[in-house]
Copies of this chain bind each other. A is one copy, B any other.
Amino acid sequence: MVESPERNAPLSASREDYLADIYRIQAVGQSVNTGEVAQRLGVSAASTSAMFKRLAQEGLVHYESYNGVWLTKNGERAASHIVRRHRVIERFLTDMLGIGWERVDEFANRMEHAFPDEVVEAIERLLGDPDTCPHGYPIPGLDGETAALAGLPAETLAAGDHAVIRRVDETDPELLLHLRERGLMPGKAIAVVAVNQVDGTRTLRTGDGTLVVGQRIARSLFVDRVVDDA
């Protein structure tokens, strides 16, 4: 049985990025194949294949050739730790430094590998132990436990529905900027005024007014429906 040579040696930044990405793909219930990870990390499929092999050898993932990977218990612990750092840092950047939420993912992606755990914990305390990143994704606990992803796509809402935004797709800075300018952020209450069946656009009312959104946005907002008692 070949195990990792150094028990508990710190993971390289590369390994951390692969693991975190595998974790995030698993979190939405997708299977984790070479191409998906390669594309998300902006790396060749060959590099990803090689890394899968390494991670498997170190006991961090299970790997079935031609069939993708999934995290082992150890891998999940490590990955949740990294995702935790990432999301706390995002919170720090938006809440304390006032940096726009459309840029913090990229920044946190660089910074996440360099923060000692102790620093992450101090920031967390200072921020009052937030539950989620600015985009609404849950911050894993120190024990590795993570809440389920909140919300269903706003696409599933019908005319007359009331809902609260819980989470937004965080992959596209352009989209995030767009959403921020319109106040479509976690915590915001929305009501669906109308659904245009022809082109799929929706008319929404928020506290700030009325706006029309297309499918792209309706698929990127994850909401909890609210039963109307008015």
Contacts and interface: CB of A to CB of B under 8 A. Distances in A.
The 8 closest A-B pairs by CB, nearest first: A97-B122, A114-B114, A111-B114, A110-B114, A107-B116, A107-B119, A97-B119, A99-B122
Interface string A103-143: 00001001101111011001100100000000000000000
Given A97-B123, A99-B118, A107-B119, 8 more contacts: A96-B126, A97-B122, A97-B126, A99-B119, A110-B114, A111-B111, A111-B114, A113-B114
A93 interface: yes
A98 interface: yes
Interface string A74-94: 000000000000000000010
A133 to B, nearest CB: 16
Contact of A98 (B97, B107, B113, B122): B122
Contacts of A96: 126
Contacts of A115: 111
A96 B118 CA distance: 13
A85 to B, nearest CB: 11
Nearest to A104: B119
Nearest to A115: B111
Contacts of A98: 122
A137 to B, nearest CB: 21
A95 to B, nearest CB: 12
A211 to B, nearest CB: 30
